[in-house]
Amino acid sequence: MRKHFFSGIQPSGRLHIGNYLGAIKQWIGLQDQYAPIFGIVDYHAITVPYEPGRMPMRVLDAAAAYLAAGVDPEKSILMVQSHVPEHTELAWVLNCLTPMGRLSRIPTFKDKVRQTPGQVSMGLFDYPVLMAADILLYKSEIVPVGEDQIPHLEFTREIARKFNTTFGDTFPEPAEVLGKGAKLLGLDGEFKMSKSLDNCIYLDDTDEELRKKIATAKTDPARKRRDDPGDPDICNIFSYHKIFSTEEEQSRCAEGCRTAGIGCVECKRILLERMIEMIAPLREKREEYLAEPDHIMEVLADGADRARAIARETMGEVRERMGLAPRER
């Protein structure tokens, strides 16, 4: 039988190609070997201020994006975290094993405290415990995540160990699987893609938006005129070529750049064509899904039922080990 693992998706709407290459693409590839649970983690999303009116759309958006990218509801479970109450139930249990001091040392928490000092809720403080519950509820042995999530995985292993030594062997200690996630920079050629920096290429960008973004994207800063030779190894556009273009195009552009044989405009034109080839079908599929929200809701409802069947079993074991009264019927 294929083993389960859980990976969480923040319902934050638009996905950029950094998300896609770093994480999603990798998840899709794990669907044959495992029976993954992909959770849209809405209870995590409410740990910071948000607009309630927009949440339903954010959840739909996330589901559509992941379905379009290739999450297959036959092989995987796509669900909404708050539809399966066992997530918060297990989080409560794990809370009782977690020293407060341990949570206050988690780097993502410390960052948030620094960024928004007046808005630190208990939920935000407890974020890693809920995440550990997500992962352990399905006895995950691996968790595909981005590098920024490593401290959360370390915490998850600690808490699994603590549960096991206190109440008896129950949970595997999950290992993170990091996306090869091409360390892609944003259009500024300086920082990682980030919504707040406005330097992203989104999976739902139109062809025209892509064209504008690539046209103004940073290239080798030393190449000022068409006749100046450039250095592809320091050109951000060339780092995109390495992901989107064929080998032949890559060497043609690299060679052309070094010898000033082709200009940045031509090099960008080639890239744009390849980029559109990859992104346009994703965008179109996502739109097709979004046109049928009822279908998405059905996929999510079915996912919640299937996830819950697994989650209930784990909680049954947890309750028994902990000496909590059995729930008759």
CB of 84 to ligand TRP, least distance (A): 12
Phi first, then psi: give them for residue 14, nearest 5 degrees. Answer: -75, 135
Cα–Cα distance measured from residue 306 to residue 259, given in angstroms and rounded to the nearest whole number: 59
**Amino acid code (one letter) for 19:** N
Task: Report the half-sphere exposure of 206 (CA within 13 A, side-chain side).
Answer: 3
> At what angle are helices 122-137 and 107-115 packed, to 10 degrees?
150
What are the tokens at 86?
A: 């066992």
Cα–Cα distance measured from residue 273 to residue 276, given in angstroms and rounded to the nearest whole number: 5
CB of 160 to ligand TRP, least distance (A): 13
CB of 140 to ligand TRP, least distance (A): 8
Nearest residue to ligand TRP, by Cβ distance, number only = 8
Give the interface with ligand TRP as residue ranges (CB under 6 A): 6-8, 10, 41, 44, 131, 134-135, 143, 145, 149
Query: Residue 8 or residue 186: which is nearer to ligand TRP going by CB?
Result: 8
Q: In sequence order, what E strands does the chain have?
A: 6-9, 37-40, 77-80, 142-145, 175-178
Cα–Cα distance measured from residue 229 to residue 299, given in angstroms and rounded to the nearest whole number: 53
Q: Which residues are catalytic?
A: 112, 192, 195
Cα–Cα distance measured from residue 166 to residue 112, given in angstroms and rounded to the nearest whole number: 32
CB of 108 to ligand TRP, least distance (A): 8
What are the tokens at 82?
A: 């708050």
Cα–Cα distance measured from residue 59 to residue 57, given in angstroms and rounded to the nearest whole number: 5
Query: Residue 61 or residue 134: which is nearer to ligand TRP going by CB?
Result: 134
CB of 249 to ligand TRP, least distance (A): 33
| Ramachandran area for residue 165 (φ above 0: left; ψ -120 to 50: alpha; else beta) | alpha
Cα–Cα distance measured from residue 325 to residue 264, given in angstroms and rounded to the nearest whole number: 70
CB of 107 to ligand TRP, least distance (A): 12
Phi first, then psi: give them for residue 143, nearest 5 degrees. Answer: -140, 105
**Residue 141, exposed/middle/buried by CB under 10 A (0-12, 13-18, 19+)?**
middle
CB of 12 to ligand TRP, least distance (A): 9
Query: Residue 7 or residue 199: which is nearer to ligand TRP going by CB?
Result: 7
- CB neighbourhood size of 233 (10 A): 11
Query: Residue 39 or residue 263: which is nearer to ligand TRP going by CB?
Result: 39
Q: In sequence order, what E strands does 112-248 have?
A: 142-145, 175-178
Query: Residue 35 or residue 135: which is nearer to ligand TRP going by CB?
Result: 135
Query: Residue 127 or residue 289: which is nearer to ligand TRP going by CB?
Result: 127
Query: Residue 127 or residue 244: which is nearer to ligand TRP going by CB?
Result: 127
